[in-house]
Structure 1
Amino acid sequence: MNICTRIAQPDDVESIFDVRTSVTENHLSREEMQLIGINESIVADMVQQNRCAWVATLNDKVIGFSMILPDEGCLFAAFVLPEYEGRGVGRSLVELAEHELFKHHEKIWLETDKNSRAAQFYMQLGWGKTKNLNGSDIRLEKHRGV
């Protein structure tokens, strides 16, 4: 299995949304994303204007992605198709995002459900719990060099 990672391009956006809507934990439909202001057009603009997203591919099929908010120092999203979990895809994508964020920030952050598998995954990658947010979510931070 030859999984490759690369910077995302605007023509990857449809596949990014396919990955995002495929997950069972922290699932959002396209309609739910639209209600919170996330749609294909906005993501395509972000990808085109900034170095802010990466995709993992297998035989030219997008199987995962990560996305950052570069100005805010935020890891905004990291998702992998369920059938490819546990193969290092998410780790690679998060590392690419971290590397780019640490070019501009000493401390980076993300938010996730405190009881999620994602929270455990990020903590294994050196992200630390800093505070509870709304009862179910936490903000995790990571400092350059960790």
Structure 2
Amino acid sequence: MIFRNAEVADITEIQIVRHTVKENILSDPALVTDADCQEFITERGKGWVCEIEGKVVGFAIVDLKENNIWALFLRPEYENRGIGKQLHQLMLDWYFSQTNKTVWLGTSPGTRAEKFYRLQGWKTAGTVHRGEVKFEMSYEDWMKK
């Protein structure tokens, strides 16, 4: 397993990962374009990928502009190997090295993702669009981990 910064050249594989998920599925795959991905990893924030045998199997992207976790996804066949937890750690360590502002994310209720974020110490902060659970992580809470 190799964890590294996401690059523009990874966007095709990032999109493949995003479209293979079984939960938090995009209602319209055209909603997240390659240009969006490029903007988020080069201008708005930063991204990371996990590669196994030269193939991107997971990725995470954080948005400094909106203080938001934009994405954290794995190919289903690579779940339960610690990849998501490592990507999460890299992303939040970097985020909180850039700012002390609380970061938030939204995820569908009743999913493995919701359980994952709770286990990582995220706090419920209401709901966001389409009834997603809104979670927040403060600088102080992250530094306690």
Which TM-score tier does this pair reach, normalised by the shorter chain?
A: 0.7 to 0.9
Q: Which has the higher helix share?
A: 2
2:6 is the counterpart of 1:4: no
Aligned length: 140
Match of 1:86 in 2: 80
SS at match of 1:26: coil
2:120 is the counterpart of 1:114: no
C-alpha separation in 1, matches of 2:123 and 2:29? 27
CA contact 1:75–1:98 (8 Å) conserved in 2: no
CA contact 1:74–1:101 (8 Å) conserved in 2: no
Aligned counterpart in structure 2 of residue 77 of structure 1, from 52, 71, 75: 71
CA contact 1:70–1:101 (8 Å) conserved in 2: yes
CA contact 1:75–1:108 (8 Å) conserved in 2: yes
Of 88-97 and 43-52, the range deviating more from structure 2: 43-52
Match of 1:142 in 2: 137
SS at match of 1:21: helix
Q: Gaps (5+ residues) in structure 2?
A: none
Q: TM-score, normalised by structure 1?
A: 0.87
Q: TM-score, normalised by structure 2?
A: 0.88
Match of 2:60 in 1: 66
Amino acid corresponding to residue 34 of structure 2 in structure 1 = E
Instruction: Provide the alpha-carbon RMSD of the alignment.
Output: 1.7
**Per-residue Cα deviation, 1:102-136 (whole angstroms, up to 9, x for no partner):** 12133111111121110110010010111133573
- 1:50 to partner: Cα distance: 5.2
SS at match of 1:43: helix
